[in-house]
Amino acid sequence: MAITRFAPSPTGYLHIGGLRTALYSYLWAKKTNGEFKLRIEDTDNARNNEDAVRAILEAFEWVGMPSDCEIEYQSKRVDIYKKYIAQLLEEGKAYKCYMSRDELDALRAKQEAAKENPRYDETWRPEEGKVLPQIPADIEPVIRIKAPKEGAITFEDGVKGSMKFEANQVDDFVIARANGMPIYNFVVAIDDHLMGMTDVLRGDDHLTNTPKQIVIYNALGFEVPKFFHMPMINNPQGKKLSKRDGAMDVMQYKADGYLPEALLNFLVRLGWSNGDQEVFSMDEMLELFDPNNINKSASSYNAEKLLWLNSEYIKAVSNDRLVEELKAFDLDLTHYNKKTEILDLAKQRAQTLIELKNAVNTILEVPTSYEAKGSKKFVKEGTVEFLNKYLVLLGENKDNLYSVDKVEAITKPFIEENGLKFPQLFQPIRIALTGGTQAPSVYDIISILGYDETRSRLDRAIEKNFDKE
């Protein structure tokens, strides 16, 4: 049974890289009948943003990945962290460091000049037989942990395999600031232990934090969880994903007309696969996903793939669901008696809910103008004459225009009897009914609009001469 978490900092929106991490954590917990937990890492008061917290929680509600426990806020747990800092000080595993900022800056400048890796020089680290400097009166100390000076810190990463960091790569790092507030790596280790984490899935930008956190685990006698450090998501050029590439607020995807299932399906494939399968239901993800099979190399964001997936999900979900989704885009088809027919037609070519709305409105809205290029090309001498003849035919069969088959059954003979080619009739009708030439099948449009509306729009287009004058 895996217990996993996602722990965002509320300093900005939740982007898709974070959502992918959360998805993988969620899938692994649910697959093993474990628990998925959310923790808000809000100890940085200067950068925290209440709007960001709300946006993060809203995103998780939208994609349907709720926390299995009450959401934890680090800002409410400071007393817990201070208790463990006091314990480490009492046990001699941490110490107070009075090095000033100027002294620390000078030390780092000297090390960099000597082409050495910047690290604390242990001036205030207590050692047997060592005489420490006199405590300055004007410096509030930070708290540093005693890192091991020999050997190596090793762990088995579920993605990267065996990892080894020599002791000299980890110095006596700070675990609490001079104002008493604990540092990120310290609180993460405390929280992951107290929240029972068995598996920590995160981006490989956190890899260098792991040895420091293991030092803390070991100092406090905590069991070290299993780590999975996932490669980042790059843009198609192999560079860091930018906002232009798609690294935007998760809720922007909702605003842009994506379904949450499509976004999750897209993200699960950015770093994991099951053969050549592209479309996964949540049940299939839960059945097949294993973090031990996460790719070792970075994945590339593909906007076209996301659009394709979204179009597949728009076709697959129920029309009742689409009616509800479209309400967020100011289109309410609840009481429209032909909503099933119009959605079945419009969703065949829609890649987003915005495109679906536009396709529906192309049929429902009476055109106020007509495509000039199409009118010039398809409205010729004699066009109005056979359109009027076709209107007579529709009037004679107006009670039978409720289905595509019925419309087709009377139209095909009309085309043959009048020696027309299909575009000669269909394109002028399409322009009259929708304003353009790219609308769906004329049979479908007429069956949805019915005789009265079809006649009204054709009469209007003929009266305006298709805006050709």
CA dist., res. 97 & res. 238, Å (int) = 42
CA angle 355, 361, 365 (to 5 degrees): 160
| Binding-site residue positions | 243
Query: Please, which residues have CB within 8 angstroms of residue 46's CB and are 6 or more apart in sequence?
Result: none
- Residue 441 CB-density burial (10 A; 0-12 exposed, 13-18 middle, 19+ buried): middle
Contacts of 396 (CB under 8 A, 6+ apart): none
In degrees, to the nearest 5, what angle opens at C-alpha 146 toward C-alphas 226 and 170?
60
As a whole number of angstroms, the distance between CA 278 and CA 193 comes to: 36
How far apart are alpha carbons 388 and 383 in whole angstroms? Answer: 9
Q: Are 97 and 123 in contact (CB under 8 A)?
A: yes
**Cα–Cα nearest to 352, from 320, 326, 324, 321:** 326
d(C-alpha 355, C-alpha 469), whole Å: 31
Mapped onto helix, strand or coil, the DSSP state of residue 201 is strand
Residue type for position 331: L
Annotated binding site for ATP: 243
Percentages helix, strand, coil for the chain, rounded to the nearest 5?
A: 50, 10, 40
